[in-house]
Structure 1
Amino acid sequence: MTKGSMPAPSIAAWQEYLNKLNPNVIKLGLERAQLAAARLGVDKVSDDVRVVTVAGTNGKGSCAAMLAAILENAGYRTGLYTSPHIRSFNERIVYGGVMASDDDLIEAFEAVYEVLDEECPLTFFEFTTLAALYIFKNHLCNVLVLEVGLGGRLDAVNILDADIALIPSIGLDHCQILGSTLKEIAIEKAGIIKDRTVTVVTGELPEVCRNEIGAIAARHQAALHVVGRNLKIRVSDDTHFDMRAPIEILNLEVPSLPLINAPLSVTAALLLRLVFKFDISDGAIRAGLMNAHLPGRLERISRDPDVLLDVAHNPPAAHYLAERLNLNPRPRNAVIGMLKDKDIRSTLKEFTDLDLFEHYFVCSLPGERGAESVVIEETLLALGIPRYRIESFDTAAQAYRAALSELPVDSELVVAGSFVTAEEVLKSIDDGQTWQAAEQ
């Protein structure tokens, strides 16, 4: 795509421009982003700025959000970059605990646009990553918490070297791009470990992944902390847990974001305290865990009716959601839409094995990647769900509206399957096609 003329100074014009870059087009490689970053002056951070990079299959956004909340509560101006967004692009770029304003975005987009030429075309994600780094630099952030978009080694976020690398999980996803084995995918994720990296923190990973990441960390002389090994927690009940190592902090409240990722965020904060002398108190850690929020991750968008939104879109994410739901058995229905390039059968099997939902409202999703509702319906039938418990719809908004109208009293509605499903449902709420979401 040629550079063309600069869009008008409005968010709508820039959204149109960025959509023409096509968010679904993925071109891995750092050369384009590095060249543009150097021209923009964001290819390096100053000596007093720390960088935490988060890669993995699931849990990246939750890890990043909890760590950023801890840092903000400790008084550090933090740049948080996550993707994708659900309601608005502004969700991707947060500094000082507040989403970037439209004016911030327009200024950043114009700055990135100015450094482009025919030898430096950028994908949607590369363009938006550079815009985030520009905003963080302008607002003098002390620490950057950056979520990798895809993979790690060749992702645009990796133009900045990480001081601390977090890898919460590794599973078989995006296999057509990252490799068909866990070993291959682990190598790609571990590409965020560089010579500058002091410490690597991982979740409980398959042995082959743990071995590869351990070897790469050792090669770069980075310390390794692994959940269940030298990073230990104890869950005392549904509401509290203890950090046992590397430093003992007792009676932490379970956050609203997935608990499975909290130990990595807490450990990263402790390492910033120990290695980089950040003034992060235990109180800031407690407050950060409680304040952390990320749209679409175990997000209760209404109490009456009772609606839970989770973007679980692959087997590991669905497994975690299923386990959390199973802790509190109750009547539940589901709205589910998925992308055709995901492992639809294995993802749905996590729900059907536990027979979590009495009724499935399945929907088609828009765009080339969107799966048709009939695919989800046929998969559920093959997994043993009777046809009378499944209804199919052309859109997520239609499925959601029908699910609400048929939701029994004292039942919970779960919306899951994709970021796109969440986006479509929330868009229908914001447009007034259904009831308005409750205040958060």
Structure 2
Amino acid sequence: MSAQSIPQATSSLQMWLDYLQSIHSSAIDLGLERVAVVANKGKLTKPAPTVITVAGTNGKGSTCALMEAILLDAGYSVGVYSSPHLIRYNERVRINGHELPDQSHVAAFDYIETLRGDVSLSFFEYATLAALKQFQDNNVEVLLLEVGLGGRLDATNVVDHDVSVITSLAVDHVDWLGDDINVIGFEKAGIFRSGKPAICGQPKPPATVPAHADDIGADFYQTGIQFHYEMTSEITWSWQHGTFSLEALPIPALPLMNANTAIMALGAAKLDISDVNIVNGLKHATLPGRMQMLPGQPLTILDVAHNPHSAEYLVEQLTKRYPEQTFKVVIGMLHDKDVAETMRVLQPLACDWYLASLAGPRAASAQELSDCLENEVASSLYDSPVAAYDAAIQSAKENDIVLVLGSFHTVGEVLEYTESTTRGCDR
């Protein structure tokens, strides 16, 4: 792209996003050298007094949303950086529970463009630096940073954070992290800091995780050892760390294992949070695309589960909650995921498959998904998630549930479609 094509401070957000996607040779380019140069130049490595960085195969977004809800109830000014987005880029940066306007992102991009000079940045690196600038400018007190990929070499790891969190560990992003769980554990543990709390919400993690914490002298907290949780009734649970315990906690809408991790992370950060703040936060924490139920009939559930680990959790929860109902499964996936194993895990749940092709170089086609199914399984192929969703809705009977999953892209397209349809009906 020529110098004349560089957007200006008055350009649209979409122009900037198109530009960011065009200026680097690779969409994903792991490594901290380039992004660190720009972050140090802009003094962006400590954008808030307290920073909690969250890595993991699954559960990062939910853990951040739970911490965010608790912190907001406690009166803190809170920033959250997450990715990818479902519908709008603006979803990636939240301050006090709200997205920022286009102009805020544009101003931050314009700042980073001037700051970077001739340093080449990937889309995610550029976006991360712009987000840090916005958190810094808005004087947030606590920043929750969701790692994009891995941990050790992710752009978020240039930040001087106070607490490190690993939510879960499983094989994913094979093209970038490989399929060795010990290597994956080491990459995620790369966010740990010497002398600072490192929280692991994965029961029995690979040995590389506690070993790395020990090697660098991090204060390691492992679920099931240093902190615990258990269901105490159908509607309550308890949490314990040492002699401190919380009883009769409400079951959140987001996974309980992530609530367990979130409470430990906030405790390790030594923030001023009461039991009441925790209870209120658990009651109110939500996140689009995580067991999200759409209004109307038939019941539609959206979930961004996109690997075997997250699919197993989803099947377990849906089987427990809806034991008598049948599921029409709308699914679209990226081909660099473990498509075959994810669909195998979902097989007991699906009475009918609606297989959707996604767009883009990483997308799996509906035919690729079909090739992973047994021949006798009922399935239909569609050009897009929206077409597959429409067909599932049209064929659903009274007792059916339409389940949409497989990728942020799949859920995002259907969510945007249903929102636009609802707005059209309201006019």
Task: Say whether the fold is shared (TM-score over 0.5).
Answer: yes
Residues 41-85 of structure 1, C-alpha deviations (whole Å, 9 max, x = no match): 212346xx0111101111111111111211111111111111100
Amino acid at match of 1:281: S
The residue matched to 1:381 in structure 2 has which SS? coil
The equivalent position to 2:256 in structure 1, one of 252, 255, 259, is 259
Residues 195-241 of structure 1, C-alpha deviations (whole Å, 9 max, x = no match): 2x52111123445x2x2221221233222221222211111234321
1:159 to partner: Cα distance:
0.4
Residues 20-56 of structure 1, C-alpha deviations (whole Å, 9 max, x = no match): 358971101111111111222212346xx01111011
Q: Is the 8 A contact 1:365 1:372 kept in 2?
A: yes
Q: Is the 8 A contact 1:172 1:182 kept in 2?
A: yes
Residues 116-138 of structure 1, C-alpha deviations (whole Å, 9 max, x = no match): 222x1110100110111001001
In the other structure, the counterpart of 2:303 is 310
Q: Distance in 1 between matches of 2:223 and 2:425?
A: 36
| 1:221 and 2:217 are equivalent in the alignment | yes
Residues 89-127 of structure 1, C-alpha deviations (whole Å, 9 max, x = no match): 111101112112222212111111111222x11101001
Q: Distance in 2 between matches of 1:228 and 1:303?
A: 40
1:142 to partner: Cα distance:
0.9
In the other structure, the counterpart of 2:30 is 28
In the other structure, the counterpart of 1:178 is 177
Residues 302-349 of structure 1, C-alpha deviations (whole Å, 9 max, x = no match): 243311100110010101111111112122211001111110111011
1:143 to partner: Cα distance:
1.2
In the other structure, the counterpart of 1:232 is 228
Identity rate of aligned residues, in percent? 35
In the other structure, the counterpart of 1:14 is 16
In the other structure, the counterpart of 2:417 is 428
Aligned length: 421
Amino acid at match of 1:84: P
Amino acid at match of 2:138: H
Amino acid at match of 1:289: L
The residue matched to 2:372 in structure 1 has which SS? helix
In the other structure, the counterpart of 1:156 is 155
| 1:285 and 2:274 are equivalent in the alignment | no
Query: Counterparts in 2 of 1:406-421, with a 5 A limit?
Result: 406-421=395-410
Amino acid at match of 1:291: H
The TM-score with structure 2 as length reference comes to 0.93
The residue matched to 1:232 in structure 2 has which SS? strand
1:19 to partner: Cα distance:
3.4
In the other structure, the counterpart of 1:372 is 365
Q: Distance in 1 between matches of 2:138 and 2:130?
A: 12
In the other structure, the counterpart of 1:40 is 42
Q: Is the 8 A contact 1:318 1:350 kept in 2?
A: yes
1:173 to partner: Cα distance:
1.1
Cα gap change, 1:90 to 1:43, in 2 (>3 Å): same
Q: Distance in 2 between matches of 1:438 and 1:67?
A: 36
The residue matched to 2:170 in structure 1 has which SS? coil
Query: Counterparts in 2 of 1:31-430, with a 5 A limit?
Result: 31-45=33-47, 49-118=49-118, 120-195=119-194, 198-207=196-205, 209=206, 211-246=207-242, 247-273=244-270, 278-328=271-321, 329=323, 330-352=325-347, 355-381=348-374, 386-387=376-377, 389-430=378-419
The residue matched to 1:157 in structure 2 has which SS? helix
Q: Is the 8 A contact 2:332 2:406 kept in 1?
A: yes
1:365 to partner: Cα distance:
0.6
Amino acid at match of 2:284: N
Q: Is the 8 A contact 1:338 1:370 kept in 2?
A: yes
1:192 to partner: Cα distance:
0.2
Q: Is the 8 A contact 1:77 1:142 kept in 2?
A: yes
Q: Is the 8 A contact 1:43 1:160 kept in 2?
A: yes
Cα gap change, 1:24 to 1:259, in 2 (>3 Å): farther
Amino acid at match of 2:395: E
1:430 to partner: Cα distance:
3.8
Cα gap change, 1:332 to 1:179, in 2 (>3 Å): closer
Q: Distance in 1 between matches of 2:159 and 2:125?
A: 13
Q: Is the 8 A contact 1:301 1:438 kept in 2?
A: no
The residue matched to 1:380 in structure 2 has which SS? coil
Q: Distance in 2 between matches of 1:65 and 1:30?
A: 26
Of stretches 306-315 and 10-19 in structure 1, the one that deviates more from structure 2 is: 10-19
Q: Distance in 2 between matches of 1:203 and 1:309?
A: 24
Q: Is the 8 A contact 1:151 1:188 kept in 2?
A: yes
Q: Distance in 1 between matches of 2:202 and 2:153?
A: 24
Q: Is the 8 A contact 1:301 1:437 kept in 2?
A: no
The residue matched to 1:358 in structure 2 has which SS? strand
The residue matched to 1:321 in structure 2 has which SS? helix
Moved over 4 A (4+): 1-4, 21-24, 435-439
Residues 145-177 of structure 1, C-alpha deviations (whole Å, 9 max, x = no match): 101000101100000122111101111111221
Q: Is the 8 A contact 1:162 1:193 kept in 2?
A: no
Of stretches 218-227 and 31-40 in structure 1, the one that deviates more from structure 2 is: 218-227
Q: Distance in 2 between matches of 1:45 and 1:132?
A: 10
Q: Distance in 1 between matches of 2:351 and 2:306?
A: 20
The gaps in structure 2 that reach 5 residues or longer are none
